[in-house]
Every structure is written in C-alpha cells, then in structure tokens.
Amino acid sequence: MAMILVLLFLYFIESVLLSSTQNEKDFFKEYDFFTEEQRIRLKEKAKEMFYFGYDNYMKYAFPLDELNPIYCKGRGPDLNNLDNININDVLGGYSLTLIDALDMLAIVGNQSEFKSAVKLVLSHVSFDQDNVVQVFEATIRVLGGLLSAHLLITDPDEPFGKLKPLDYDNDLLTLAHDLANRLLPAFDSTNTGVPWPRVNLKYGIPPSTSTMTCTAGAGTLLVEFGILSKLLDDPIYEQVARRALNSLWKQRSNETGLFGNVFDVQSGEWIGKMSGIGAGIDSFYEYLLKSYILFGEKGDLAKFNSVYKDVRKHLRKGRTSCNNGTGETPLHVNVHMLTGEIFNTWIDSLQAAFTGVQVLYGDIDEAICSHAVFYGIWQRYGALPERFNWKLRAPDVKFYPLRPEFSESTYLLYQATKHPFYLHVGAKIMESLETHAKAICGYATLHNVETKTLEDRMESFFLSETMKYLYLLFDFENPVNRRASDWLFSTEGHIFRIDEQYRASSWDKFVSKDSPPQSSARKIKNNTYSSVCEAYNDNIYSKLPMKDKYFDQIQRLVGLID
C-alpha cells in the first residue's frame, strides 16, 4: 500500500504541477525582468488594498473584532453559540483587527493613523471579559500585536518615524502584561506543563475545556512570552512557554524523531499521530528556529537541527535533489509519527509557511522547490485550497480564508534571491485577490476556490500578514527591507527587532525594563545568528547577484509549472 501511495505521489508531481514547458526566450521575456514602474505601481496597489480593508473595518466594524466585508458589519464572539470555536477561538471582544494591524500602519508610513489607532486601543480595549479564547491565537495575534507596536514606539532609532503618542507611558506593554496574566492559568494546572488550549479571560479555565491541544498551539508561544519576560524583567512568562515546548519535545517519537499533531495536556499522550509540516504543527518548527535567533539559546537551535533532519528524512518525498533536471519537484507529505509511513494523501495551505522557515535557515535550494509546489496550485485556482489531495489531484477542502503563508514565502524568497520571478508571483497573488476576493467593503474568504463563491469574513491576518508581505515585497526602500537582518517576523507577521537585550545569558544581565530599548542587531552580525541565516542576511545579498545564481533552477521549475 505504501508503494502504491508513493507512485501516486510521483504521478501527482508529474501531472498536476508539471504541466507544460516554455523555452528560455519565453522565460527571460516573462520572468527575468520587472520594471521600476511596475514595482512602484504594485507597491501603491498593495497599500490601496490594505487601506480598503482597514478603512472599512474602522468604518463598519470597530470596536468589534472583525469585518464582515459583504454585508459591511462587525463581528465579535458568538455568545449565542459558545461551542462555535471557529469564531470564539479567535474573537475575544478586544478589537482584534485593529491590534493585529498596528505595526502594518507603521510599516506603510502612516504615523498619524498609527498614533490614532494606539489611542483607540487604549481607550476601547479591556481584557476583563467573560469570553473564552484560544491561548495560541490570543498570544500570536493580540499579545504579539501589542508588543510589536510598543517596541516600535519606544525604539530610539525611530526607523518608521515618530510613532510615540503624547503622554505614552508604556501603555501597550501594560495592556500586554494584563493579557498574559489572564493566559497564565492555562499553564498552572496541567500534568505536563503544556497549557490548556482555551482560557476564559475573566475566570480562568472553563470546567468543560477539552484536554486536547495541537502541537503548534502549545509550542508556538515562546517568542511573544519570551519578549514579554525580557521587557518586564520577569522570567515567569518565558519559563511557562519553554516548559511547554520542552514537554512536547520529550514526547517525540523515539523511532522517527517526529511529533504528532494532537496532544493531551493531562495524560501526555498523542491523540493525533499525523506528522507533517502544515496545520497543527507548522509554527512549532518555526519557533524553534526563531526563538534561537532572538534569545540565543543553543538548545533551541539543536532541537531545530534535529527535527529538520527528521522532517527531510521521513516527510520529504521525491527526488533527492530539487535542481536535477528530472522534471520532478519534491513534496512534504503527512506521515505516521511512529513509522514514517504515509498517513493520508493531502497537503494543506499552511505548509506554504515552511518555505519561509527554510529561507531563514539558509536552505534556499529546498525553499525554491517547496514554494514551486504551491505556486503550481495557485496558478490552477487563483488561491490555495485549505487542503489539496495529491492522489485525486483536486481540493479536499475548498475554502481559502485569505491566508498569508504563500505571500510570506514569496516575499522571503525574493529577499533571499532577489530574483524578479518572485515579484511576478506577488503580482499574480494580488491580481487574484482583487479579482476573486474583493467584496463591497473589504476582502472576503473564498468559500470554494473552484467556483469562487465567497464567505462573509475577513480574518485579521489578511491585513496584518497577507497585505504586509505583499506590500513589503514591492517596497524596496522600507526600513524592514533596507536592514532585513535586523528584523524578525513572528508567526503572525509582527515585526521584532533582533536585540541583544533578548539574548542575555542570565536574568541578572538583562537590560532593565526602565532602560531605553537598544538597537543592537548591528552588533551581532558576526555571531551565530549570521551563520545560521546567512542566505537571509542583507550583507550576503550585496556579495553576488543571487538571481543569476538561482536562475537555472527557477527557470526549470517555472517552465514546468506554468
């Protein structure tokens, strides 16, 4: 059976993604050139798309959490159906879209609107509410948004201009501290140290809360909780997040080194034994690497090195080398965590984020390959279906909620290679969004990528991530791009400066919370961060024309996919 699935997989690669060829002349004509006029036009178009969603959220939805872009109404928690976790895991009655978009306002250079938005958050948002939220979503979207905006305001270099509102007294940090304290009960009473998946912001753990959590949800807390600990000079937040991560690490398979996707926080057992790089596990890998970059913990890098090797061994199917001229692109499949045998025959859209992790790790050849798989699917549907079945060569789950992962990987690959092909990909993404997802007052979820029918929801990550990556793809002069190795993106796309105060070796060496933030990324160019991420370091960009280095590989993949 396993051999049959492998053969089906290879057939999928050949017949679904690799459809037609084009000669070198056509490639040069279409993909190897991108005019300055095109770039500037698309930069302005990305900004226009962001403001179309943002302005309508502020007009029709604020202070509620999300905008319904078809009927132009706001959306908050579903208090009439508390079991509606699709809504209630994310929406907490805390103006989610505004908090999530704060740093995007800084990135597009709107200092006045940023200051106004901060004041609105401080005057309208309270976490003292009887709402149950998912710990993971509240951490990456809300806690991360507050911390990123606070750090931009207090950055003495003012990379995005003067963002500090009058009478600002670390107010966003205080709000973030309050939220984190309301999430802490999730960690207090489990046998494993892995947090309960949900918490009531006012009353703690609800009596009927499930003990099952996903690996990503429990293992993707360290960046935000760690930064908060450093800023407050209080180790508790980093400690609970690190304990959760280490507890999951101890339960990986002895046979394969892999992780399952669903974990019981009380028994310590794997309820779901599917291992992959997509939904349920994706950002767990990401934060192993990113927490090392931010905090300098060598154990985090060792963990990532180990799991990356195991992922390549057990999940990556196809030819040994991507750049071998065989007309066959490798793919990461879902496998059983104990045996490494193929678990099912679908990939999901969240897997597109793994390309960005590969870029950050410096594995550019593999990143080009993994990106090409999803570009082929996007070309077919003008979106990424939530699940695509490579056996049936068709979507299993047909909706696309405007997810950012493919835009993210496109942006990061352009940063690493400077190849104009990725500018063309970004242009296609924006064209698809405008054509298929634009609604009366925002951008709507595609209910079906084949029929292009819409659902009345614009999730907060569309503004905070999808449009951020597309805008930065074309804004070459942006501070984030001019000093790319100074900045790290969270899994929600929030930007954090890489700073020595986060990398101190012991608590008594941490910069005091009363000291002004220091911009120290420039001081660590020659340390381990640069060696881990050399392909992502802007010093590397200037050493060689990387678009020429990767031309042959991208040409072959594009010719096969288009």
Q: Which residues are catalytic?
A: 137, 282, 386, 405
User: Positive or negative CA dihedral for 470, 471, 472, 473?
Assistant: positive
296 dihedral zone (left: phi>0; alpha: psi -120 to 50; beta) = left
CA 101 remoteness from chain centre:
14
The amino acid at residue 364 is: I
Q: 3-state DSSP call for residue 95? A: coil
With tokens 């905090």, the residue in question is: 295
Instruction: Give the chain's largest Cα–Cα span.
Output: 67
d(CA 328, CA 322): 8
Which backbone phi and psi does 145 adopt, to 5 degrees?
Answer: -65, -40
Degrees to nearest 5, angle at CA 271 with 268 and 274: 120
In 327-382, at which residue ranges do the beta strands (DSSP E only) sit? 331-332, 335-336, 346-348
The amino acid at residue 125 is: V
CA 68 remoteness from chain centre:
23
Q: Rg of the Cα trace of the chain? A: 22
CA 15 remoteness from chain centre:
30
- β-strand 66-68 against 198-200: which pairing, if any? unpaired
Contact 128, 143 (CB under 8 A): no
Cβ atoms within 10 Å of 352's Cβ, excluding its own:
28
The amino acid at residue 239 is: Q
d(CA 447, CA 524): 46
